[in-house]
Structure 1
Amino acid sequence: MFGAEKGKADRLDGSELVIGIVQARFNESITNTLAESCKAELVALGVDAKEIDHVLVPGALEVPVALQAMAEKGGYDALIALGCIIRGETYHFELVANESASGVTRVSLDYQLPIANAIITTENMEQAVARQTEKGRDAARVAVEMANLLDELG
Structure 2
Amino acid sequence: MAGSEQHYILPRPSFDAPVKLLIVVAPYYKDIADNLVAGAKAEIEAAGASWDLIEVPGALEVPSAISMADRQSNFDGYVGLGCVIRGETTHYDTVCNDSSRGLMLLGLQGLAIGNGILTVENRDQAVVRADPADQNKGGGAAAAALHLIALRRKWGRPEKPVGFRPWDEIRIADGGSQA
TM score, norm. by length of structure 2: 0.75
Question: Which residue of the partner structure matches residue 46 of structure 1?
Answer: 48
Question: Which residue of the partner structure matches residue 3 of structure 1?
Answer: none
| Equivalenced residues, count | 142
Question: Which residue of the partner structure matches residue 120 of structure 2?
Answer: 122
1:62 aligns with 2:64: no
Q: Deviations over 1:40-60 (max 9, x none)?
A: 11111111xxx3111000100
1:76 aligns with 2:75: yes
How many Å apart are 1:12 and its aligned residue? 1.4
Runs of 5+ consecutive residues of structure 2 not aligned to the other structure: 1-9, 157-179
User: CA separation in 2, counterparts of 1:35 and 1:28?
Assistant: 10
Aligned to 1:54, the other structure's residue is in SS state: strand
User: CA separation in 1, counterparts of 2:115 and 2:141?
Assistant: 7
Kindly indicate whether structure 1 or structure 2 has the higher relative contact order, using CA contacts under 8 Å at least 6 residues apart: 1
How many Å apart are 1:139 and its aligned residue? 1.2
CA RMSD of aligned residues (A): 1.4
Q: Give the letter aligned to residue 75 of structure 2.
A: Y
User: CA separation in 2, counterparts of 1:63 and 1:77?
Assistant: 17
Question: Which residue of the partner structure matches residue 33 of structure 1?
Answer: 35
How many Å apart are 1:29 and its aligned residue? 1.1
Q: Which structure shows the bigger proportion of residues in helix conformation?
A: 1
Aligned to 1:13, the other structure's residue is in SS state: coil
User: CA separation in 2, counterparts of 1:140 and 1:13?
Assistant: 14
1:109 aligns with 2:111: no
Aligned to 1:102, the other structure's residue is in SS state: helix
TM score, norm. by length of structure 1: 0.87
Aligned to 1:120, the other structure's residue is in SS state: strand
User: CA separation in 2, counterparts of 1:76 and 1:152?
Assistant: 17
How many Å apart are 1:30 and its aligned residue? 0.5
1:16 aligns with 2:15: no
**Which structure has the larger Rg over C-alpha atoms?**
2
Runs of 5+ consecutive residues of structure 1 not aligned to the other structure: 1-7
Question: Which residue of the partner structure matches residue 136 of structure 1?
Answer: 138
